[in-house]
Amino acid sequence: MPEQARAEWDDVRLKRERLQGLQGEMKRLGLGGLYISDGVNLHYVLNLKIPGAKLFVPAEGEPVAFVRPRDAGYVSMQHERIMPTLYSNTWEPANDEKLDRFAQTIADLMAEHGAAGEPLGVDPLEAPAFHALVRAGVPVADARPAIERAKSIKTQDELAIYRLIGEQYSTTYTAFREAIRPGATEKELAVLVGAAWYEAGGDDVLQLNVCAGEHMNPWRRWPTQRALQAGEFVGIDFHAGGVHGIRGDVSRTFFVGDPPSAEQRDLYRQAWDYLEATTDAFRGGRAIADVVKAVPPVGPEYYEQLYNYNIGHPIGLTPSGYPHVDKDKRPVDDVLKPGQVFAVECYFGAKGSPLAVKLEHMIVVRDGEPEILDAAVPFDERLL
Amino acid sequence: MLMEKTWDDQRLKRERLARLQASMREHKVGALYLMDGVSVRYALNLRIPSAHVLVPADGEPIAFVRSLDEGYVRLAHSSVRRHIYRADPTDPEADQKALRWADELNELMTEFGVGGEVLGVDSADPVAFLALNQREFRLANAEKIMESAKQVKTQDEVLIYWELGKLYTEIMRFFRDSLAPGITEQEMVSLTYSKVVSLGAEGLLQINVCSAENANPWRRWPTERRFQDGDLVGIDLHVYGPGGYIFDSARTYLCGDRDSEEQRNLYRRAYEYNNSVIQLLRPGLSIGDFKASLPSVPEDFQELLYSFHVAHSNGLTPGEYPSIMKAHKPVDDQFKVNQVLSVDCYFGRVGDGVAVKLEEQVLLTADGAVKMADMPYDDRLLR
């Protein structure tokens, strides 16, 4: 990882600003506390990945992490308030009695923070744990509106990490492009991309689609032993894990061999034009309904498969989030805000045809035109 | 490719579903509604992001998928529908949508002939739970039913694990032979990842590489620390194999060649403990008796050793049932043929800065536990 990039973010400030954002949303939505079971949400709040852990977040003050003894060692080096896990696997008989103690402990923590009787936001949790909270008389609400809205605006340090991720995509996709040749299999290319990502200092390979030829339409997702052939497209859609689990999401399509047909060039050009115009529609302060209106029209043959995808979706620690921008759903009643990070999608392929082009930008919303994080990731200029 | 396709995917799906539906009938559950990705994969033998599945006690499960996944899912499964309800926490109509979903579930259960029976749910969002409660569903914990089905592997699951065992044999040799002073933990992760996927694995769930003092306490996540001559380097590896099966094993090796007597003693202790625990395992032995017969361990090693499992099952998730912790009350059950277990072992004293981690994945056969990989130890530390 380039040392210069590393110097551009501050881990302690990142954690602090995330918590401030989340607690602000909790107060706005009237939540007295959150009980978080989802590993990714926990990772978000603590900026730490802890398998099997849970978390209580008060509307003010330090969150309490519930961790297994084997993880207490390294967690206590980075977070002040930890307690042993209250229950582990709900399928173990011994846990039936633990669940009531769990609910009581959470009620006590709410009281300790002056929030007794206020709603407790929870994210998806196991049926017995949910019922234990209900039995203990804790008013249960959905934690995710607060979490999702907080996550939607990236902190300054998250944006610095995203800029590094953009650079890492550039070296990784360049390696992918250079390895394209007739005879190479989708799997071989996937292996190479994963290795290139780690070499670029990436942390994790989260989802990697490599599809060649007719595997691009319908988009088959998972790479196979199919070998590339001269005269066809090969597409890549890669969700990569960067620093602290922050995810990127970028797609490209390249041509195998040379030269492309007029039909291939035309499809690629249409897809690229659409993507660039759509990307430009993502502007800070613009209502989501207006973003949808600003998206250019597309031919009826491409419409259905294109809008099986979102126009754009936020990314962060998860591959999507709030607010979605979709074609045929009622638009979210909100405006785009500076600091949101979106993947802008584009899939051009007629139903029944084996031919398709998949492209995807990763952008930061700001006032005026967006910042394109994958600006250095190549397109196939032979097709433009 | 190192791994060969020895298993039958269709039979795997069929036999796994048969086990799941038998477990449902035993627990008197009419249907399961599964929202967790791994549970969905278990029921369908397909990886579908954001999908749900309704599993009736008899009949073909219905996959609920997003429009963008419909294409390839239909190629592999016959009963596919668009989502009725998918939690969008910021949707102002989420509550009404969830209620309509609950009503449709009711109708689907009636179509399957299990109307009004108990519905098993795994992990759901509160909006879904509240809707099910409001519609007066009788709910059960689906995780309990799934774990009971998953604990004994079908013939094809066992075949997949034997292939993954070959991969682990190869990977641990590679890891041992690649260690050299000057390499960082993170670089070692990158090298190991490339090797793992080039040998045919689906991906990595978790890789811990911890060297010298980073192994005690076990820091899990790799750092930029460079190996030095005489370091003990531990690797704990969770690899996704074919079908999403997770293999889980660990080893510790000496980097360079300056080992100490203290390291050798610790290694020998860990090696002997781990292998004697494996020898205890046999079908028919109760979990309580197993725990009572564990080898004795000096007190200064107990805290860290027992912060890990004694043994746990693996499947599409690590740490399935049976999951045996020293401090937990043993479940009233016994080991069974075709269970796949990882036997944990971590030897280090609190505050000592040195540790040895070994972990072995075994199959329970009528004759006892058999190691599923032939991963090398560090012979220099066993002299």
Which pLDDT does position B63 carry in this prediction? 97
Query: In the structure encoding, which two tokens stand for residue B290, read together?
Result: 């197993």
| A20 neighbors A141 (Cβ within 8 angstroms) | no
Site of tokens 């319908």: A218
Q: In whole angstroms, what is the distance from residue A255 CA to residue A234 CA?
A: 6
The answer to whether A92 contacts B321, with C-beta atoms less than 8 Å apart, is yes
CA distance B162 to B247: 10
CA A329 to each of CA A307, A308, A309, B91: distance values in angstroms, whole numbers, following the listed order:
10, 11, 12, 11
Q: Grade residue A325 by pLDDT with cuts at 50, 70 and 90.
A: very high
Q: What is the pLDDT of residue A6?
A: 55
Residue A343 host element (H or E): strand A341-348
Interface probe with A: pick from B27, B88, B347, B359, most Cβ of A within 10 Å = B88
- CA B130 vs. chain centroid, Å, equals 30
> What DSSP line would sit under A35-71, residue for residue?
EE--HHHHHHHHTS--TT-EEEEESSS--EEEE-HHH
Closest CA to B150 of B368, B336, B280, B331: B336
Best residue in B184, B192, B193 for a mutation probing chain A (most A CBs within 10 Å): B193
A122 → chain B, closest CA residue: B126
Q: Please list the helix, strand and coil fractions of chain B in percent, rounded to the nearest 5, in that order.
A: 40, 25, 35
- Which among A141, A220, A221 has the least Cβ separation from residue B126? A141
pLDDT band at B89 (very low <50, low <70, confident <90, very high): confident
Which pLDDT belongs to residue A329? 87
Nearest to B72 among A74, A220, A324 (CB): A220
Distance to chain A for B87, nearest Cα, Å: 10
Q: How far is A337 from chain B (nearest CA, A)?
A: 16
Note the pLDDT of residue A14: 97
Residue A218: list chain B partners with CB under 8 A: 71-72
Report d(CA A50, CA A69) in Å as an integer. Answer: 11
- How do B246-254 and B232-240 pair as beta strands? antiparallel
**In which band, very low, low, confident or very high, does the pLDDT at B242 lie, cut at 50, 70 and 90?**
very high
For chains A and B, count residue pairs whose Cβ atoms are closer than 8 Å: 136
Burial class (CB in 10 A: 0-12, 13-18, 19+), B96: exposed
What is the sign, positive or negative, of the torsion defined by CA atoms of B319, B320, B326, B327? positive
Is A130 in contact with B129 (Cβ distance < 8 A)?
Answer: yes
* pLDDT at residue B68 in the model: 84
C-beta atoms of B122 and A145 within 8 A: no
Residue B96, Cα to own-chain centre: how many angstroms? 36
Residue A239, min C-alpha distance to chain B (Å): 13
Residue B58 has pLDDT above 90, yes or no: yes
ipTM of this complex prediction, to 2 decimal places? 0.73
Q: How confident is the model at residue B34 (pLDDT cuts 50, 70, 90)?
A: very high
- Res. B221: pLDDT tops 80: yes
How buried is A10 (Cβ within 10 angstroms: 0-12 exposed, 13-18 middle, 19+ buried)? middle
For residue A95, the model assigns a pLDDT of 74
Range of A123-127, A204-208, B366-370 with top mean pLDDT: B366-370
Alpha-carbon distance A216 to nearest alpha carbon in chain B (angstroms)? 11
pLDDT of A1 above 60: no
Cis link prior to B217 (omega < 30° from 0)? Answer: yes
| Statement: residue A2 has pLDDT above 80 | no
Nearest residue of A to residue B94 by CA position?
Answer: A142
Contact between chains at B143 and A91 (C-beta distance less than 8 A): yes
The structure tokens listed for B40 are 């969905």
| DSSP single-letter state for residue A361 | E
* Average pLDDT over chain B, rounded to an integer: 94
Write out the two tokens for B95: 């509550």
B129 contacts on A by Cβ (under 8 Å): 127, 130
* pLDDT band for position A289 (cuts 50, 70, 90): very high
Set of chain B residues whose Cβ sits within 8 Å of the Cβ of A199: 190
Residues of B in contact with A73 (CB under 8 A): 217-219
Chain A residues lying within 8 Å of B94, measured CB to CB: 142
C-beta atoms of B219 and A73 within 8 A? yes
**Mean pLDDT, rounded, for B136-146:** 93
pLDDT 10s digits, B296-334: 999 999 999 999 999 999 999 988 999 999 988 888 999
Phi, psi for A312 (deg, rounded to 5): -155, 150
Quote the pTM value: 0.82
On chain A, the residues whose CB falls within 8 A of the CB of B319 are 52, 89
Q: What is the pLDDT of residue B92?
A: 80
Inter-chain residue contact A91 with B141, CB threshold 8 Å: yes
Question: To the nearest whole percent, how much of chain B has pLDDT over 90?
Answer: 85
A 10 A CB-CB count for A62 gives 12
| Of B72, B129, B194, Cβ closest to residue A195 | B194
Mind listing the pLDDT tens digit for each residue in A224-273? 999 999 999 999 999 999 999 999 999 999 999 989 999 999 999 999 99
At residue A108, the pLDDT reads 97
Q: What is the pLDDT of residue A199?
A: 87
Task: Give the residue-averaged pLDDT of B344-361.
Answer: 96
**Closest-CA residue in chain A for B132?**
A127
Beta carbons of B90 and A149 less than 8 Å apart: yes
What is the per-residue pLDDT for A356? 97
In terms of Cα–Cα distance, which of B195, B190, B189 is closest to B170?
Answer: B195
